[in-house]
C-alpha cells in the first residue's frame, strides 16, 4: 500500500475532496508517438498491484481480507468485501459458540453507513463525520440496509429483537445529505470547468508550436474528443 491518505483517515470535507481528486482527477500526458493520453491514477495499489487482484490471494483469511478492503473504502467492492469478512468471522464464532455480538454490531454499522449515499457522493464525505452519526440498530433497523442479507438480519433480530423502525441513513439524515449533494455537485462543476480550461490551453499550446515542414508533418489531427479520449 502507498503512503496516500486513506478515506477512513479523512476528517474534513477538503480532505475527502482532495483524496477523491487524487484518485480520479484525469491527468494528461504526451506519449512518445506524439499522441496525448488522458488518464486518472485510480485507487492506490497494494504493493504495486491492483488491490482487487491482491485481495484474491488473501480472501481465505478474513482478517487480512477485512483490513485490505477497509483500506480501499469507500469503493463499492470494499464495503462488500468487509461484510463478507465479518460474516466469515461471525459464522466461525457461532460454530465455536463464542461471543460474536461486537462483530455483528460492526457489520450493522458498516451497512448503515453505506446506506447514507451511493458511490459518486460518499467518497467526498469525510469518514469521521459519517462514522460518528447515530446509526444504532434501534434507530435504523436492518430491513432497509442493502448491504445486509437475510441471514444477517436474522442474526441481528435473534440478539437484539425486532426494532421499532426500519429505515436508512439517507432518510434519517435527509437534510445533511441534501447539503452534501449540493456542495459536491457545485465543487465538481467548478472542477470540470477548470479541467476543460486546462485541456483547451494544452490544445492551443500544441496548435501554436513551430509549424511542421512537409517532411515532418504529422498525420491529420484527431478532433478534440478523440484527442481527449484517444479515439
C-alpha cell at 106: 460492526
* Residue pair 107/83 in contact by the 8 Å Cβ criterion: yes
What's the rounded Cα separation, in Å, for the pair 134 and 132?
Answer: 6
- pLDDT at residue 47 in the model: 87
Mean pLDDT score of the chain:
86
% pLDDT > 70, the chain: 79
In this model, does residue 187 exceed pLDDT 80? yes
Cβ atoms within 10 Å, residue 216: 8
Residue 126: alpha-carbon gap to chain centroid? 12
Residue 37 dihedral angles phi and psi, to the nearest 5°: -110, 140
Comparing CA positions, the residue from 52, 89, 87, 57 lying closest to residue 72 is 52
Strands (E), the chain: 27-30, 36-39
Comparing CA positions, the residue from 24, 19, 15, 23 lying closest to residue 192 is 24
- pLDDT at residue 198 in the model: 67
pLDDT digits (tens, 9 = 90+) for 109-138: 999 999 999 999 999 999 999 999 999 999
* Residue pair 54/81 in contact by the 8 Å Cβ criterion: no
Give the DSSP letter of residue 213: P
Give the pLDDT band of residue 221 (cuts 50, 70, 90). Answer: very low
User: What is the average pLDDT across 153-178?
Assistant: 97
pLDDT digits (tens, 9 = 90+) for 193-220: 887 776 666 656 655 555 544 344 444 4
- pLDDT at residue 202 in the model: 61
In this prediction the pTM is 0.80
What's the rounded Cα separation, in Å, for the pair 29 and 111?
Answer: 40
Range from 1-5, 28-32, 60-64, 144-148 carrying the lowest mean pLDDT: 1-5
pLDDT digits (tens, 9 = 90+) for 58-85: 999 999 999 999 999 999 999 999 999 9
* Residue pair 63/86 in contact by the 8 Å Cβ criterion: no
Residue that is written with C-alpha cell 482532495 in the block? 18
- For residue 39, the cross-strand partners are 27
Amino acid at each position: 500500500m502507498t503512503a496516500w491518505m486513506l478515506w477512513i483517515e479523512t476528517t474534513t470535507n477538503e480532505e475527502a475532496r482532495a483524496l477523491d481528486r487524487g484518485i480520479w482527477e484525469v491527468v494528461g500526458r504526451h506519449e512518445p508517438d506524439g499522441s496525448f493520453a488522458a488518464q486518472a491514477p485510480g485507487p492506490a495499489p497494494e504493493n504495486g498491484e491492483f488491490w482487487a487482484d491482491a485481495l484474491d490471494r488473501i480472501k481465505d483469511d478474513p482478517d487480512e481480507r477485512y483490513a485490505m478492503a477497509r483500506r480501499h473504502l469507500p469503493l463499492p467492492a470494499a464495503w462488500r468485501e468487509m461484510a463478507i469478512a465479518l460474516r466469515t468471522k461471525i459464522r466461525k464464532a457461532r460454530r465455536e459458540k463464542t461471543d460474536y455480538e461486537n462483530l455483528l454490531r460492526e457489520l450493522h454499522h458498516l451497512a448503515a453507513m453505506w446506506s447514507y449515499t451511493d458511490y459518486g457522493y460518499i467518497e467526498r464525505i469525510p469518514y469521521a463525520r459519517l462514522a460518528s452519526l447515530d446509526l444504532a440498530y434501534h434507530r435504523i433497523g436492518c430491513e432497509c440496509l442493502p448491504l445486509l442479507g437475510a441471514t444477517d438480519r436474522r442474526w441481528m433480530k435473534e440478539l437484539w429483537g425486532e426494532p421499532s423502525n426500519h429505515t436508512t441513513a439517507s432518510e434519517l439524515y435527509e437534510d445533511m445529505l441534501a447539503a452534501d449533494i449540493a456542495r459536491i455537485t457545485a465543487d465538481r462543476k467548478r472542477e470540470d470547468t477548470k479541467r476543460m480550461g486546462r485541456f483547451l490551453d494544452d490544445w492551443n499550446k500544441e496548435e501554436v508550436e513551430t509549424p511542421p515542414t512537409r517532411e515532418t508533418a504529422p498525420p491529420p489531427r484527431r478532433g478534440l474528443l478523440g484527442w481527449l479520449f484517444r479515439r
